[in-house]
Each structure stands twice: as C-alpha cells, then as structure tokens.
Amino acid sequence: MRYITDAVNTYFMKCLFIILFFLLLPVMVSGQSDSSYVRAFDQEFSIRALVYRKFTAIEHEISKNESVTYEPNTPIGIGFGITYKEFSLTGGIAFDFLRDKNLGKTRSLDFQYHYYGERFLADVFFQQYKGYYVLKEDDPLQVDLYPDISVTQYGFLGHYVFNHKKFSYPAAFYQTKRQLKSAGSFQVGGGFYYNRLSADSSLVINTDNRHSNYQININGGYAHTFVIKRDFFVSFGLSAGISLGAASLNGFFKNIEVSPSLLPRFSAGYNAEKWSLGVNFVINRIYISHNNDMDLYFDTGRMNLCFIKRFDSTPKFLKQIKWLNQ
C-alpha cells in the first residue's frame, strides 16, 4: 500500500508542477528596462555551446563536528542552444565515458529549468538519483560506494525582482543583454517541494530507512551585478528562507517541521558585440529533516561554461512563427 501511495503522490506532484509552470508562464514577461543601465544586443538571433554538470548531493550532519557528504557520480555534459529575441531553447547530453568509473554508478533523471526574466525568476527541479559515493577526508583516494541510496525531488520556485529596470538577470545568466552600469535588486519568492530519500542499509535514516516530506517555502534575498571596464561583469545573488514541511498533504499543518533554505547564484563573463563567454552556477539547499534527531539536506545544482555567438541575420523559419514575433 505504501508504494501505491508513493506512486500516486509522485504522479500528483508531477502534474501539479507542470500545470503551475504553464499557468505562470504568461506573467513571466519582460519589463521595461532603464536604457542607461541595461541594453539589448543589436542581434536578435544567437547560438550557444556549453559544458555543464548537474547534481543532487546529500549532506548528513551527524553532530556539530561531524558530517558526511554523499555525492552522485554524474558526468560532464555538452549542450547546444538557440536564442531568438526573448526565447531560448537549450538541450544537452551527458556522456558516460566522461564518468569516473572508480566512483561507482549513478542512475539519474535530472531536469532543471532556470528561467531568468526581467521581473520574474522561476526554478523548476525534477530529480531522481540512485547510487552515491563518499570520499574519505583522511584518505581522499579511498571511496565508499552506496549503490542503494535513492533520492527524489520535485520542486518549483518563483521570485519577483524589485529593481528590474536597472538590474537584469538575463544580462547576467543568459547574456542576451548587456548590463551597462553596476546595479542590484532585492527579491522575494516562494514555492514548494516534494522530497524523498531511501536506502537499504548503508545510510541509517530511521527504522524504515525512508524519509519523505512536502514543503512550502518562503524566501527573500538580494542580487548584484558589478560591471568591470564595460565588457566584464561579475554577478552574485543569494536567497534565504524558511520551509514548512510535513510527511503528508493530509493534515499538513498539524505536524509541521520548520527548516532553513539557501539558494546562491553566481555568474561572470565577458561580452563582445558579437560573442560572449560566461560561467555560472546555481545551488539550491533544502533540508528534508532539521530536528534534534537528524539533520539532512539536499544540495541541488547546475554549473555551466558557455560560449555565445550572435548573428546579424535570423533564420527565415523563426520569423514565420507568429507567436514568436508578436
């Protein structure tokens, strides 16, 4: 019966995230920017090539002075994308031969979508991992393998950017625009998650060796981009908040566990008129258990190194798509 319930909950959360994401898409529109701070590039069409890595790590805080980090063996991926006006589509593939065979095998399905609009941000997480490893602190060459550890996380976060006229997230993370002057902005947001961690015997969680919960998150933060000699930039952002979690949606508010959350972002790059080079990462830390008995959290992240080439001309088929040119 438990597995049937888990399957129903999983299906429910998948549907809920997909519906919510498409309902919120219409409000994720670009706002008017102050042209003395933010300027779009003259070219409407660009392509990008990127190298990336995605992961969901587990941190188990055993005591104040002792913790264990369980990491998945995820290989580096290579991707390509196109951008036309405000619309971007990027895809990639991770090659198994780039995986370190000494770190065991990790099976994973990892979908992350990070939308950077002028006024709104959106982060969508859909992860399923099985198979982790631990590097010993006293002997980095020694590796302990945990093929039975399994992680599931579904999540959606939305953020509103207050100073969107002078500070541009697309300029920092998409590099589809140029930040002309240094600027920053406060932001506020919220979202929800479903988290699940299970193991056969290697990671002792509780009597069942399974733990899952639903969380509602509220957060706030600040981001700032520093422009250096016009063409270089460095951008930092941090959102911190609290999550209200419960093991079931039924009677959610009867037995709530309060836990912290952190979401740092970083981006740096160089912009020429017809090409750009950039590196960025985002890490989302969510506690799935935060009490006197156990501290466990997930670190979900993505790191990108990308090269962007802009073109003066646009492929004809893009100009013929009406909803792209309205």
Q: Model confidence over 191-242: pLDDT tens digits?
A: 999 999 998 866 767 667 788 889 999 999 999 999 999 999 999 999 999 9
pLDDT for position 20: 52
Q: Residue 10 pLDDT more than 60? A: no
For 2-324, give the CATH class.
mainly beta
Distance CA 72, CA 299 (A): 11
pLDDT for position 55: 92
Evaluate whether 87 touches 324 at the Cβ level (below 8 Å): yes
Distance CA 215, CA 143 (A): 33
Distance CA 236, CA 223 (A): 6
Distance CA 41, CA 315 (A): 17
Domains of the chain, residue spans: 2-324
Q: Which amino acid is at 237?
A: G
Q: Residue 243 pLDDT more than 60? A: yes
